[in-house]
């Protein structure tokens, strides 16, 4: 399987001239905790697992479903047999991949609470033969080199404790010619849209989280981590710096989210 994606930079531009940003300083859910970011993220998602899906629909006005479908559309075009969904959460992406005919999907996540919700959803839809849900660490993937035809991550890379290490692990387990597809939030460039985005992120998202969630810090963390995470060309530079090729991004809904794609030689 050979994937050809349009590069985000001109072909004659040396990689050394690309802007390689510093890796982002970790944003953590609980500033008063001595636990690592990884441990804090696991605790946070375990705590909000029961309301996570419903709150996501409310906070994004349901548009996140369209973003996931746009990601899946490009992944299934490569006709993958085995897909790894990193930071799978409650399994939305894995379930839709199975519904689109991907025969074997492995969903991996740090949070047992999120995985239990996902397993229940998979069982109810009769997709257990196609989806395996595993507890695991994105920075120490429990798979051999060159295992998967595609890897997906939806709203998960900003939760990596070591972004570079997590991306290198994904590259390692991808087969040659395999595709990486990432969906992540980004900050709009249009000033008016950017103002609306800031109001949504700083007021609505934490407010809804406080109203409906048992964890007051969780949705504040999700807002702050989204604002500080590198996006568009900066994130493309990071993908290229760890070894992904043919990288590109596609802005979604006025730039409030982005799809990122890359391939392995």
CA distance 94 to 171: 19
The reported pLDDT for the residue numbered 191 is: 92
Output the pLDDT for position 7: 38
pLDDT of residue 205: 76
Q: Which residues of 136-159 are buried (b: 16+ CB within 10 A; e: fewer)?
A: bbbbebebeeebbbbbbbbbbbbb
Q: Are 160 and 139 in contact (CB under 8 A)?
A: yes
| Domain coordinates in residue numbering, the chain | 15-263
How is domain 15-263 classified at the architecture level of CATH?
3-Layer(aba) Sandwich (3.40)
Q: Which residues of 51-87 are buried (b: 16+ CB within 10 A; e: fewer)?
A: bbbebbeebbeeebeebbebbbebbbebebebbbbbb
Cα(86)–Cα(247) distance, rounded to whole angstroms? 19
What pLDDT does residue 23 have? Answer: 54
Would you give per-residue pLDDT tens digits along the chain (265 residues)? 444 444 343 333 333 334 445 555 678 877 777 899 999 999 989 988 998 898 888 888 889 999 999 999 999 999 999 999 999 999 999 999 999 999 999 999 999 999 999 999 999 999 999 999 999 999 999 999 999 999 999 999 999 999 999 999 999 999 999 999 999 999 999 999 999 888 888 887 777 777 777 777 777 887 888 888 999 999 999 999 999 999 999 999 999 999 999 999 9
pLDDT at 30: 78
Say what the pTM is: 0.88
The sheet carrying 148-154 orders its strands as: 131-135, 104-109, 82-86, 148-154, 174-185, 257-263, 245-252
């Amino acid at each position: 399987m050979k994937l050809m994606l349009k590069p985000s930079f001109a072909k004659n531009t040396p990689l050394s001239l690309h802007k390689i940003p510093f890796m982002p300083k970790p944003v953590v859910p609980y500033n008063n905790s001595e636990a690592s970011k990884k441990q804090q993220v696991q605790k946070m998602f375990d705590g909000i697992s029961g309301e996570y899906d419903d709150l996501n629909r409310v906070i994004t006005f349901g548009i996140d479903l369209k973003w996931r479908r746009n990601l899946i559309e490009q992944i299934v075009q490569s006709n993958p047999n085995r897909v790894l969904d990193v930071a799978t959460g409650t399994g939305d992406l894995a379930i839709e991949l199975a519904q689109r005919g991907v025969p074997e999907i492995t969903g991996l996540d740090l949070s047992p609470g999120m995985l239990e919700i996902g397993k229940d959803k998979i069982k109810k839809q009769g997709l257990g033969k196609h989806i395996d849900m595993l507890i695991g660490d994105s920075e120490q993937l429990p798979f051999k080199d060159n295992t998967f035809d595609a890897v997906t991550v939806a709203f998960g890379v900003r939760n990596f404790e070591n972004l570079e290490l997590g991306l290198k692990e994904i590259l390692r387990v991808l087969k040659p010619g395999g595709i990486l597809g990432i969906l992540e939030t980004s900050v709009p460039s249009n000033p008016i849209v950017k103002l609306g985005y800031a109001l949504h992120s700083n007021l609505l998202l934490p407010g809804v989280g406080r109203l409906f969630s048992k964890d007051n810090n969780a949705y504040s963390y999700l807002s702050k981590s989204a604002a500080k995470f590198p996006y568009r060309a900066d994130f493309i530079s990071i993908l290229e710096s760890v070894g992904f090729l043919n990288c590109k991004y596609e802005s979604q809904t006025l730039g409030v989210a982005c799809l990122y794609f890359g391939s392995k030689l």
